Amino acid sequence: MAAEATFGKRKTPPPAEDGGAIESRREPLRAPTAPEPSTRSPPVSFGRNHHDVESGRAPAHPTLRVDGLITAQTVDALHAQLLALAGRRVYDVALVVNSQGGQVLPALRFYERVKFLPLRVRTHADGAVCSAANLLFLVGEERTASRDARFLFHPVVSEISGRLSRDDFAKTMQEMARLESAMSRVLFERTALPSAVVERFHHETIVFDAPTALRFGLIHRIETFESPDDDCAAARE
């Protein structure tokens, strides 16, 4: 049976497009600055202002970090922290993303669930925002990125193990098409990406640098992030 869909590579080449300052890759890759998975810290954690949410001592403007792979466990932990903050009447949260991507469906569900939370989420790209991590990043009403940030997009694939019947294969392809359609909808909702560029994401690996992300509306500013609770405002470059 098919496993959880992630991003990957299709063999069908796309028609030539003029995507501007877009770096294209013919093989699946990670952005050069993609982090290596760490066993020393959880995939979702507080930033330097690491107050205990459960104790009620959450800061007025907390910073959460997402590092490592995007999984159902990752997004459930993140959603639980946001719920706890909303319960403490914290309405402004910064989310710093540095992730090599992961599972698409949990990321899509998180994107939809955050819409119903009574708080404002600001997101910042710190290093690499790859694949499904872009869905977490795009929940931000205000989105910023470091100068060296990279945004990687590539097609949805499904890891398959064992034998697959024709019907199962057809269902897997339908699910992949559904996820691609849902991701395209998010990109059209939250960015100024033209349909021709979004279509390229379905066929090849594309990497944006921060200026290109700014031009296409993935981010609103390029700046060095500092948590407000560290008494330092973000320094715009």
Retrieve residue 19's tokens: 């995507």
In a domain, 202, yes or no: yes
In a domain, 226, yes or no: no
In a domain, 236, yes or no: no
In a domain, 121, yes or no: yes
Q: For residue 207, which phi and psi values (nearest 5 degrees)?
A: -120, 130
In a domain, 233, yes or no: no
Q: What pTM, to 2 d.p., does this model score?
A: 0.73
In a domain, 235, yes or no: no
Q: What is the dihedral of CA 157, 158, 164, 166, to 10 degrees?
A: -40
192 is in which domain, residue-wise? 2-10+21-35+42-48+58-219
Q: What is the CATH number of the domain that holds 89?
A: 3.90.226.10
In a domain, 184, yes or no: yes
pLDDT bin (cut points 50, 70, 90) of residue 173 is confident
pLDDT tens sequence across 60-104: 679 999 999 999 999 999 999 999 999 999 989 999 999 999 999
How many structural domains does the chain have?
1
In a domain, 230, yes or no: no
